Structure 1
Amino acid sequence: MGEKNKVNESLLKDDLYQAVNGEWLKTAVIPADRPTAGGFSELDLNIEKILMNDLGEMLEGKNVPDDKNLKEFLKYYKLASDFETRNAEGFEPAKKYLDAVLAIKDLQDWQDKWLDFALIDAANPFSFFVDPDMKNTQEYALYADVTPLFLPDKTYYEEGNEQGAALLSVLSDMLEKLFEKAGYDAEFAKKTISEAIEYDRLIAPFQKDSTERADYVKVYNPYSFEDFSKLSTTIDFGAVAKKIVKTTPDKIVVTEPKFYEAADRIVNDDTFEQLRSWIFVHTLMDSTGFLSDDVRVLGGTFSRALSGAKEAMKPEKAAYHLATARYDQVVGLYYAHKYFGPDAKADVQHMVEKMVAVYKKRLETNDWLSKETAKKAVAKLDALGINVGYPDELDPLYEKYLVDETKNLLDNAIEFRRIQIADNFDRYGKPVDRTRWEMPAHQVNAYYNPSFNIIVFPAAILQAPFYSLKQTASENYGGIGAVIAHEISHAFDNNGSQFDEFGNLSNWWTDEDLKHFEGLAQEMIEEFDGLETEAGKCNGKLVVSENIADAGGLSCALEAAKGEENPDIKGFFLNWARIWCMKSSLECQKLLLAIDVHAPNVLRANVQPKNLQEFYDVFDVHEGDGMWLEPEKRIHIW
């Protein structure tokens, strides 16, 4: 994909993305079981192929490493791959979990069983988790959260939203067929499905939409235990909190206060049957991937309608993804140790350190930051943690994932959920573990964690076109260099900039600097807001944090590239466009436009270079060209 010899030179001044990727896009075929093809997806497909081959041989008893955690994974993989047994069992493994939902007599009974249901991740409008306290990341806090809707976002329920209506029709049809396969009669199915969707529609107005959730800092709304306990007269939230953390917490952080303040309208005697039906439907859908193959395929109908994938995964591939999802860090370490060399790790580490140095210089010489704010920004950068490739040690939680081969796949999966959630709840009151990786080494991605002030680059993303020892330094800076600087920039985007060097939510800005920064962020919103794509218009507010990170990432990576011997600025920008190459279903594009905090790939590739003078110089872009942007509209933040 995006081969260097396929660049259409005549298009470079008008559409960088098409000039670099157009030839590939004309002939590229999206895999039937995926919604996208392109840079990230192609790397992921290649890793999938490698690991399915390696792990498949291990299943056959070949080349099995002497690693107890990997051996435990293989037991689970074997259960997932045994479709003969899964097909013979049909819906039966799920029946006891569905019966447990139907056995809930009333609201009091539901509350009495709250912890039991929470530990197996049963649906509940009000969910809880333990995470570092955003104001003091040395300690854990209890967070009160909300469960996602059936539809991707509350706006899908708005009157006149045709996409929402169409998706509800697909959901209802799928559920009717699942109820039939599970052996429930048509009358029960119709009533339960109707009540579940009515309940989902009932709670939707009280939830945040995707744009509101993109304002990450606003999830921090601490309530005292006393005030939290008073949020409902029908739910004893205080008792729930004490059960979860086995003590009386001083405070509970509520991510969506409007939702919790509406608790009595959401849960009461009149809504109880709808609530139970909603829990039942969630339980039914959540079980399908662990049952017979026909149920698995049927149970994925709704998600495929959302993404635009044309077919379900083949059984072998589905089993691979199911098993590796549970043992992701185990599989990630296997992949990293076998396929990620020390030379590449050392080279990327050098690039990260160089990028940090470029950023530091930028902060120190910035023409709009006061010395006071710049000093604190540099202190945050100096404290930035850098993780490349893979974690040094496996999270000990995986030692607890012991497969019971006398039980079916779903029972084992439910037990693993119980172990994972209990482990999360048990963190309360203990020292915060800052060594945990949130992504396995074989995942093609990277991230910045504002609460820990760390950037993480799993081994999988450190491949062409992002990075290769065979690419020029400039091309690597246009790829992985820009990704590295992007993640650094998240420490100074509209969300990350509100956390200090220790990861605590704290304002370290002068009033004047903060006001200026917010003005620049607004300009970034306006630069993208309303831009047309094949699937609709971009929502500038939804994608602002990622766009600030893209702008800082590209600009700083360019400066680093220019600092190398014989820089190739043209190659830098060409590889920037190449890494965003993607072909996707229209359904996927529409979904991402509605809920994703990242701008569409074509806009990421084309808009950010317009802000940089070097782009105009190297491609000789002038007024009247498609890639031209008036100088006064070009945005420079970092």
Structure 2
Amino acid sequence: MFKQIIVSFALAATGSLLVSGQEHMKSLNPDYFDKDVPVGVDFYKHVNHGWQKAHPLTPEHARYGQFNILNDSSELRVKNIVLNLGSTNPQPGTIAQKVWTIYSQAMDSVRRNAEGYSPIVADLRRIENTKHEEMTDLFYWMHGNYASPFFGAGPMEDLADSKVYAMYVSGGGMGLGDRDYYLLDDARNKKVREAYQKLIVSQLKNAGYKNKDANRVMKNVMKIETALADSAWTREQSRNIPAMYNPYTLADLQKTYPSVDWKSFFPKTMEIDAPNRVIVTEPSAVSQAMNLMASLTDREIKDYYIWKYVSQAAPYLSDAFSNASFEFNKVYSGVQQQRPRWKRALGATEGSLGEAIGQLYVEKYFPESSKQYMVGLVENLRTALGKHIISLPWMTPETKLNAIKKLMAFKVKIGYPDKWKDYSSMEVDPKLSYYENMHNVSMWHQRDIYSKWGKPVDKTEWGMTPQTVNAYYSPLANEIVFPAAILQAPFFDPEASDAENYGGIGVVIGHEMSHGFDDQGRNFDAEGNMTDWWTPEDAAAFNELTKGLVAQFDAVEVLPGLHANGQYTLGENIGDQGGLRVAYTAFMDSQKAKGVDVKSDSAKIDGYTPEQVFYMNYANLWAGNIRDEEIRSLTTGDVHSLGVNRVNVTLRNIAPFLEAFSIKEGDPMYRPAEERVIIW
């Protein structure tokens, strides 16, 4: 059986792009290369310095790079789609009418400023006027309608059986999201906390509260959210998926976390029968939530609810609310100017009816030929990753076989869903306020999620819209997904050289495939179930290798006194390295199959070897500028490494890269062979 699998890889497709002599770059612009910065000193800067100078940060951006350029392109296309829908005088109840109503209301600042906070007055009064004996019903109402206070709950695929849904209860309830913002006393976190406190007071005053009351609310919110943060899991702990799988019977859940009547909670918040089994992901955080719910006064809880309510409503109210949010964002990310109103309106519209817009997007902008080429490219990468797995020196044959089984079971989604989401039951009424419509939209999406309970998992669903410039791997579905919008230069261009395409979208494909075998994805088998399919020896070898990769990124000082977090970004760093190595193998195999000698002068592209162009276009993907505040924010809360490190730190481990540019010992980009970490 093992040999049969090897043979099946050897018979995989080789792709369909034609190669012509003396090709020219399309995704890369040689004018951006900085010849004054040798490749062996700083490869990222050598490739991208000219791009950085040509694309200075504008006030509305905390960072701006190649992804942003594609996002801008996608936004303009979507804007054109939405404006065209509005020009058709759409009839009530149609998708066009729903899309146009949300977009036009988001743009109508005159109406929203006139309405002020009136759309939320009745609900705020409900919270304020709740009697002690009604506090439990208020708790259910908050969980059923708004940003879940104290903890989160909802259905998701069962990690141990991905064909069915399980019910999960998890920590949460913190407006700043990450525990460090509340608990660390360095200058950066203090500054963010102060800005957050100011935001709470400002938004409460915008909602009609007097300064004294707004400050009381702020103090109670900070008391509660800091207590929640104190028991929240760290970012590093949250990457341990098996540790987050803690199943309880309903009776045991009630006994362990008694502050909630769980038998009533699910019917009253989700309109479903209480499940027999519930999985708790962060026991310490949920325990803390129970302690707080049992010990806080009604006034403290109401103040917390008020802020949870106002903060979720703020984006859909008057400009005073959005301006206050922007003042906080200036501190948080360093951005200096709000995004144009039309971009914010478009974001709300896509968040509401994303697939409906996506269907129109692919009809107009995504050729079927791109999808077909991607299919062949994915199979090339699958073949290459299989070769890498089979030749791994640190993995035993037994685990290799299971890895190959998982690889062969990868499902691939390209461009757009085969089945589109049905929005016919969503109610959007131009007579209602913008907030009321957006609340109804949110409730529709929430009911859509809860309606899945008790049904088999629909494996055809997508987690991104076609117009999203991104890609993903889902361990529970064991699938890799590439939306239409990322299939553009510099990632993908049917007219570009193989070297550029494999160094672009090829690396993206390999990256997503490698996620199936990173520190989280490795916990799931070919069916998407959390299963330990590793021998103890292989698991130990994998963990030892990852320690080396963690150390490489931990050593990078991204700002004075601030280092990268190699453990938190481990999965993405494994994906980057795996993507580069696997895409390079697939690229070289494709050239061999076409009879191209990549070492010959005739194969050069604008004077560079195809191998050099491959790595240059990878670096080109991460061209960008970024503010210091955003560097700090991303280092705290993003699982991805900064672009410069995704290039320079990762490539130093890859021997073909060092050879392609004759990088030698003594060069800053050189890493001795014994210090290089190769996982996949």
TM-score, with normalisation over the residues of structure 1? 0.95
Name which of structure 1's ranges 175-184 and 566-575 shifts more when overlaid on structure 2. 175-184
**2:616 — aligned with what?**
574
Matched position secondary structure for 1:583: strand
Give the match for residue 209 of structure 2: 184
Rounded to whole Å, the distance in 2 between the matches of 1:237 and 1:300 is 38
SS class of match (1:344):
helix
In the alignment, is the contact (CA less than 8 A) between 1:17 and 1:605 conserved in 2? yes
CA contact (8 A) 1:142 1:251 kept: yes
Partners in 2 of 1:589 and 1:175 — Cα distance?
25
Inter-CA distance 115–20: structure 2 relative to 1 (3 Å threshold): same
When residues 415 and 119 of structure 1 are mapped into structure 2, their CA distance, relative to the original with a 3 A threshold, is farther
1:245, CA displacement in angstroms?
A: 5.9
Q: Is the contact made by 1:214 and 1:597 (CA closer than 8 Å) also made in structure 2?
A: no
Distance in structure 2 (CA, Å) of the matches to 1:173 and 1:13: 47
Matches of 1:170 and 1:58 in 2, distance apart?
A: 40
Match of 1:628 in 2: 670
TM-fit CA distance, 1:427: 1.7
Aligned to 1:32: 59
- Report if the CA contact (8 A) 2:361-2:467 is conserved: yes
Equivalent of 2:131, from 101, 105, 121?
105
8 Å contact 2:250–2:262 — kept in the other structure? no
C-alpha distance in 1, partners of 2:171/2:484?
33
- Mapped partners of 2:218, 2:235: distance in 1: 25
Which amino acid in the other structure matches residue 655 of structure 2? Answer: Q
Residues 344, 159 of structure 1: alpha-carbon distance in 2 compared, 3 angstrom cutoff: closer
**CA deviation string 1:365-395 (max 9, x = no partner):** 3333222111111111111100001112212
State the aligned residue count: 635
Shifted more, 445-454 versus 65-74: the winner is 65-74
Q: Is the 8 A contact 2:191 2:331 kept in 1?
A: no
**Closer/same/farther in 2, CA of residues 67 and 375 from structure 1, 3 Å limit:** farther
How many Å apart are 1:300 and its aligned residue? 3.1
Selected match of 1:586 from 620, 624, 628: 628
Query: How far apart are 1:632 and its partner, in Å?
Result: 0.3
Work out whether 1:608 is the aligned partner of 2:635.
Answer: no
Structure with more contact order per residue of length (Cα contacts < 8 Å, sep ≥ 6): 2
1:379 to 400, 405, 410: 405
CA distance in 1, matches of 2:410, 2:518: 15
Q: Displacement, 1:255?
A: 1.3
3-state SS in 2 of match to 1:500: coil
Identity, % of aligned positions = 28
CA distance in structure 1 between the partners assigned to 2:104 and 2:136 by the alignment: 37
1:514/1:245 Cα in 2 relative to 1: closer, same or farther (>3 Å)?
A: farther
1:381-400 superposed matches below 5 A: 381-396=407-422, 398-400=423-425
Of residues 237, 242, 255, the one that matches 1:230 is 255
| Alignment-mate amino acid for residue 634 of structure 1 | R
Residue of structure 2 in register with 1:528 after alignment? 553
Deviations 1:91-146 (A, max 9, x none): 1112122222223333x533224443223223311221101110011111100022
CA separation of 1:84 and 1:57: change in aligned 2, threshold 3 A:
farther
Unaligned 5+ segments in structure 1 are none
Q: Which amino acid in the other structure matches residue 356 of structure 1?
A: R
Cα deviation for residue 211 of structure 1 reads 2.0
Structure 2 partner of 1:250: 276
TM-score, structure 2 normalization: 0.89
The reply on whether 1:362 has 2:381 as its aligned counterpart is no
Residues 1:434 and 1:197: Cα distance change in structure 2 (over 3 Å): same
Contact 2:65 2:624 in 1 (8 A): yes
| Shift, 1:508, TM fit | 0.8
Closer, same or farther: CA 141–474 of 1 in aligned 2, 3 Å: same
| Partner Cα distance (2:164, 2:50) in 1 | 52
Residue-by-residue CA offset, 1:215-242 (whole Å, 9 max, x unaligned): 3443222112111111234322343145
**Which amino acid is the alignment partner of residue 175 of structure 1?**
I
- Aligned pair in 2 of structure 1 residues 66, 339: CA closer, same or farther (>3 Å)? farther
1:11 aligns with 2:38: yes
Per the alignment, do residues 67 and 435 of structure 1 end up closer, same or farther by CA in structure 2, a change over 3 Å counting?
A: farther
**Matches of 2:221 and 2:93, distance apart in 1:** 45
TM-aligned CA distance change 1:66 to 1:414, over 3 Å? closer
Q: Is the 8 A contact 2:146 2:309 kept in 1?
A: no
Matched, 1:281 2:307: yes
Look up the match of 2:235: 210
1:473-484 matches, cutoff 5 A:
473-484=498-509
Query: Where do 1:492-507 residues align within 5 Å?
Result: 492-507=517-532
**More moved, 189-198 vs 359-368:** 359-368
- Counterparts of 1:140-151 in structure 2, within 5 Å, are 140-151=165-176
Moved more, 457-466 or 273-282: 273-282
Alignment of 1:479-558 (within 5 A): 479-534=504-559, 536-558=562-584
Q: Which moved more, 1:444-453 or 1:292-301?
A: 292-301
Aligned pairs for 1:269-348 within 5 A: 269-348=295-374
Alpha-carbon contact 2:31-2:50 (below 8 Å) kept: no
1:248–1:55 distance in 2 versus 1, CA, 3 Å: closer
Quote the offset at 1:342 in angstroms.
Answer: 1.1
- Name whichever of 298-307 and 502-511 sits farther off: 298-307
Gaps of 5+ in 2: 1-26, 599-609
SS of the residue corresponding to residue 327 of structure 1 reads helix
Q: Deviations over 1:161-188 (max 9, x none)?
A: 2222212222222333333332221221
Q: Which residue of 1 aligns with 2:13?
A: none
1:82 and 2:108 matched: yes
**2:75 aligned with 1:48:** yes
2:81·2:361 contact (CA, 8 Å) conserved in 1?
Answer: no
| Counterpart-to-counterpart distance in 2, 1:452 and 1:372 | 23
DSSP 3-state at the match of 1:564 = helix
1:429 counterpart (449, 454, 477): 454
Is residue 2:246 matched to residue 1:221? yes
Q: CA deviation at 1:348?
A: 1.3
Look up the equivalent residue of 1:534 and give its one-letter code: L
1:158 alignment partner in structure 2: 183
Provide the rounded CA distance (Å) in 1 between the counterparts of 2:613 and 2:320: 49
Aligned AA for 1:417?
S
Q: 1:140 aligns to what SS in structure 2?
A: strand
Separation in structure 1 between the aligned mates of residue 619 and residue 333 of structure 2, nearest angstrom? 24
Q: Which moved more, 1:620-629 or 1:284-293?
A: 284-293
Give how far 1:426 is off.
2.6
CA distance in 2, matches of 1:111, 1:623: 68
Q: Distance in 2 between matches of 1:298 and 1:400?
A: 34
Deviations 1:224-275 (A, max 9, x none): 2111111234322343145436323221111111112234422124344323
**Secondary structure at the counterpart of residue 155 of structure 2:** strand
Query: In the alignment, what sits opposite 1:262?
Result: 288
User: Is this contact kept in 2: 1:616–1:622, CA < 8 A?
Assistant: yes
Q: Distance in 2 between matches of 1:499 and 1:257?
A: 22
Which amino acid in structure 2 is aligned with residue 449 of structure 1?
Answer: S
Q: Match for 2:378 among 344, 352, 367?
A: 352
Instruction: Give me the whole-angstrom Cα distance separating, in 1, the residues matched to 2:666 and 2:365.
Output: 47
Contact kept, 8 Å, 2:384 with 2:582, in 1: the verdict is yes
Secondary structure, aligned partner of 1:252: strand
AA partner of residue 622 (structure 2): W
* Range moving further from structure 2, 590-599 or 203-212: 203-212
State how far apart, in whole Å, the 2-side matches of 1:11 and 1:148 are. 49
- C-alpha deviation, 1:452, in angstroms: 0.6
Paired amino acid for 2:653? N
Secondary structure of the residue that 1:492 maps to in structure 2? coil
Query: Which residue of structure 2 lines up, in the alignment, with residue 416 of structure 1?
Result: 441
